[in-house]
A and B are shown apart, each in its own frame.
Chain A
Amino acid sequence: MEQVALEAATHDVSLWALFMQAGWVVKLVMIGLMGASVWTWAIVIDKYVNFAKARRQFDQFEQVFWSGQSLEELYRTLSDRQNVGMAAIFVAAMREWKKSFERGARAPIGLQMRIDRAMDVTISREAESFEARLGSLATIGSAGPFIGLFGTVIGIMTSFQAIAGSKSTNLAVVAPGIAEALLATAIGLVAAIPAVIAYNKFMGDAGKLSGRMEGFADEFSAILSRQIDEKLQPRQAAQ
């Protein structure tokens, strides 16, 4: 059967023919690598869109936040929305603040700590969402060439077995099998190269965004701490 395929291959060396004449293992590898490539690009597009959106939202929020608008008002407008990034951090911190004052918290240090915790949790959740699926990019980037190579080795093995069967070392007999096997490596590289590049780029972007969030959290924490001191001191003085 391999021989027949090889003989037919001498006339047709198009991509589709190369794929169709490959063994099932090589076919599986190729299909898997194609899927990986599709997935890589899906992640790339998704991340690109998400990061751009996140960056835009950060900018907008910072603008609003530093515009001198009342934090209470800002909280009221944001609290009933689905927030991401800095807004989520702000909302989480404000929610914790509100809860503490509604119940009449007495310890300013405990309040400060709770607000920081709430912001940390939100930051880590947001950062996780930024870095989500970047791991699969890394996996595809590192494993793709190996998977392709595996397909190539299997393909060359089978084609050599076919050569041994046909007892001909004519290049026209040998070449299609090798070309077909090499196609697997090619697809592996096609999937892996964008994956590696995208992984590095999006990891950098995600790091920058989390840095921004942490910076904002620190600043907001400082603001809240000042507010806590201002609000608690008159009370203590009154006591």
Chain B
Amino acid sequence: MKGSVGTSIALHTLVLGWAMISLSAPAPLTVADVEAFPVDIVPIESVTQMQQGDKSAPMKETPSPKETKNQKAVENAENAGENDIDLKTPPTPTKKPVPIEAAAAPKPVERPAPTPTPEQNDVKEIAPEETAPKPVETASLPQPKPEPTPPKPEPTPPKPEPMPPKPEAAKPTPAPVQAENSSETGELPPTPPIPMAKPQPPKPEPPKEEAKPVEKPVEKPPEKKPEPPKPTETAKADTKATDASKPTDKKEGKKQDAAKSSSSQKSDFNADQIAALLDKRDASGGGAKRSATPASTGSTKPSNGAKLSLSEMDALRGQISNNWSTIAGIEGLQGMIIRVHMRLDQSGAIVGEPEVSSSGGSDTARRTMESSARRAVLRSSPFKNLPADKYDSWSEVVVNFDPSELGL
């Protein structure tokens, strides 16, 4: 027995010794140093109702786009940015302005930009106004001109300030031409629409040529302004010009008209595009909405995160149910739900066909109710009383109806 105990002890020592050596330190788990990946479960509302902000900015209580330096407020601007015009394109990071000489050139261009639409009208008005004194010199018919001018003396005063450089630049050249014109203008009155007809080669060749050289160098900037106006505006200008047909003898009047007509022509092949091509400014997108607070996380899409309130939703629903011609005595309406999916434009009118689907109830009743729902929806287009600032949330609407709630 002693021998076997000794053997046993020897065996155990051997095994333990081997275990100490070979199993002494199990290889430590080499865990790859992976950063924990945070996953948030976000309700869909926080995406669809996200307010405009800056994606790369840190999170804050209220989303806000990058702080803008340009604090000139632009009304109804939706897109954040430093621009004076509200553009949909996202703001591009400004690069180093290397060519300083080039930077000088854009300046005159920028000036017309700030006040797009109103100025344009002013320009037209100035023309007759400035022409007003001149008729006296040229002894052409002065009576009709005072008439258009009286209503617009107020807007004109500010004009002279920004304009001075141009008229001065224009004046020197027109001066000699004016003399020639005076003789021609005597003939011109009977042909008032001539400046308009610039594209038409036949008659107006002499005035056009006179106007052209002057116009090209100086009037370029004003051409930019006419971009926004619609054809109707230019038409107005035309009528004005015809009203003041006599002032055509005036260099200025002609210039304006010619500019107008040229711009109206250009609008046929997308003046915006050409203006954009001619635009030598830095390609800085961005809107004109100002932000005073530092940037914080939000969506890049301009949105105020508003959702249709319950009462507004009810109002929409009410408009449909008001137009719902109820059909009495339909059976199988129990548990029926009619679902109307429609797209609306800014005015509240339906775009395309509303999609109507339903579930529950009998087949025939469902078919009847679907068609009556479609009729009701189409009849109640355009929808009224939808808040314009929440267009994002009601551009696509899904309304559910329970026929039993409609009193059918």
Please tell me if the beta carbons of A42 and B5 are within 8 angstroms of each other in the complex: yes
Known: A13-B26, A15-B23, A42-B1. 17 other contacts (CB 8 A): A12-B25, A14-B25, A15-B19, A15-B24, A16-B24, A34-B12, A38-B5, A38-B9, A39-B5, A40-B8, A42-B5, A42-B8, A42-B9, A44-B4, A45-B8, A46-B4, A49-B4
Q: In the bound complex, how far is the Cα of B26 from the Cα of A12, in angstroms?
A: 10
* A15-B19, A15-B20, A16-B20 known; A41+B25 contact, CB < 8 A: no
For chain A, residues 31 to 65, give those with C-beta under 8 angstroms from any C-beta of chain B. Answer: 34, 37-46, 49
Q: In the bound complex, how far is the Cα of B11 from the Cα of A40, in angstroms?
A: 12
Q: Does B7 contact A (CB under 8 A)?
A: yes
* A15-B19, A34-B12, A38-B9 known; A43+B4 contact, CB < 8 A: yes
Q: In the bound complex, how far is the Cα of B17 from the Cα of A16, in angstroms?
A: 10
> Which chain A positions have C-beta within 8 A of B25?
12-14
Some 30 contacts from A to B, beta carbons below 8 A apart, are A13-B25, A13-B26, A14-B20, A14-B23, A14-B24, A14-B25, A15-B16, A15-B19, A15-B20, A15-B23, A15-B24, A16-B20, A16-B24, A34-B12, A37-B12, A38-B8, A39-B5, A39-B8, A41-B12, A42-B5, A42-B8, A43-B4, A44-B4, A44-B8, A45-B4, A45-B8, A46-B1, A46-B3, A46-B4, A46-B5
> Which chain A positions have C-beta within 8 A of B5?
38-39, 42, 46
> What is the distance, in angstroms, from A134's C-beta to the closest C-beta of chain B?
13
> What is the distance, in angstroms, from B10's C-beta to the closest C-beta of chain A?
10
> What is the distance, in angstroms, from A208's C-beta to the closest C-beta of chain B?
21
Chain A window 105-125, contacts with chain B (Cβ cutoff 8 Å), 1 for yes, 0 for no: 000000000000000000000
Name the residue of chain B whose CB is nearest to the CB of A12.
Answer: B25
Please tell me if the beta carbons of B24 and A42 are within 8 angstroms of each other in the complex: no
> What is the distance, in angstroms, from B57's C-beta to the closest C-beta of chain A?
35
Using a CB–CB cutoff of 8 Å, the interface residues on chain A facing chain B are 12-16, 34, 37-46, 49
> What is the distance, in angstroms, from B9's C-beta to the closest C-beta of chain A?
5
> What is the distance, in angstroms, from B186's C-beta to the closest C-beta of chain A?
102
Most buried by B among A13, A14, A42, A45: A42
Cβ-Cβ contact count across A and B, 8 Å cutoff? 44
> What is the distance, in angstroms, from B180's C-beta to the closest C-beta of chain A?
97
> What is the distance, in angstroms, from A35's C-beta to the closest C-beta of chain B?
10
> Which chain A positions have C-beta within 8 A of B20?
14-16
> Which chain A positions have C-beta within 8 A of B19?
15
Q: In the bound complex, how far is the Cα of B8 from the Cα of A40, in angstroms?
A: 8
Q: What is the predominant secondary structure among interface residues of chain A facing chain B?
A: helix
Q: In the bound complex, how far is the Cα of B1 from the Cα of A49, in angstroms?
A: 10
Most buried by B among A13, A40, A41, A44: A41
Chain B window 75-98, contacts with chain A (Cβ cutoff 8 Å), 1 for yes, 0 for no: 000000000000000000000000
Name the residue of chain A whose CB is nearest to the CB of B13.
Answer: A38
Give 4 closest A-B pairs by Cβ, nearest first: A46-B4, A42-B8, A41-B8, A45-B4
Most buried by B among A34, A40, A45, A49: A45
> Which chain A positions have C-beta within 8 A of B3?
46
> Which chain B positions have C-beta within 8 A of A13?
25-26
Q: In the bound complex, how far is the Cα of B10 from the Cα of A42, in angstroms?
A: 10
Chain B window 208-231, contacts with chain A (Cβ cutoff 8 Å), 1 for yes, 0 for no: 000000000000000000000000
Name the residue of chain B whose CB is nearest to the CB of A132.
Answer: B1
Q: In the bound complex, how far is the Cα of B380 from the Cα of A19, in angstroms?
A: 85
Please tell me if the beta carbons of A41 and B11 are within 8 angstroms of each other in the complex: yes
Chain B window 14-30, contacts with chain A (Cβ cutoff 8 Å), 1 for yes, 0 for no: 00100110011110000
> What is the distance, in angstroms, from A25's C-beta to the closest C-beta of chain B?
21
> Which chain A positions have C-beta within 8 A of B23?
14-15
> What is the distance, in angstroms, from B338's C-beta to the closest C-beta of chain A?
56
Name the residue of chain B whose CB is nearest to the CB of A34.
Answer: B12
> Which chain A positions have C-beta within 8 A of B12?
34, 37-38, 41
Q: In the bound complex, how far is the Cα of B1 from the Cα of A38, in angstroms?
A: 12
> Which chain A positions have C-beta within 8 A of B4?
42-46, 49
Please tell me if the beta carbons of B7 and A42 are within 8 angstroms of each other in the complex: yes
> Which chain B positions have C-beta within 8 A of A46?
1, 3-5
For chain B, residues 185 to 224, give those with C-beta under 8 angstroms from any C-beta of chain A. Answer: none
> What is the distance, in angstroms, from B133's C-beta to the closest C-beta of chain A?
91
Q: In the bound complex, how far is the Cα of B4 from the Cα of A13, in angstroms?
A: 33
Q: In the bound complex, how far is the Cα of B1 from the Cα of A185, in angstroms?
A: 28
Name the residue of chain A whose CB is nearest to the CB of B28.
Answer: A13
> What is the distance, in angstroms, from A209's C-beta to the closest C-beta of chain B?
18
> What is the distance, in angstroms, from B25's C-beta to the closest C-beta of chain A?
5
> What is the distance, in angstroms, from B398's C-beta to the closest C-beta of chain A?
49
> What is the distance, in angstroms, from B26's C-beta to the closest C-beta of chain A?
6
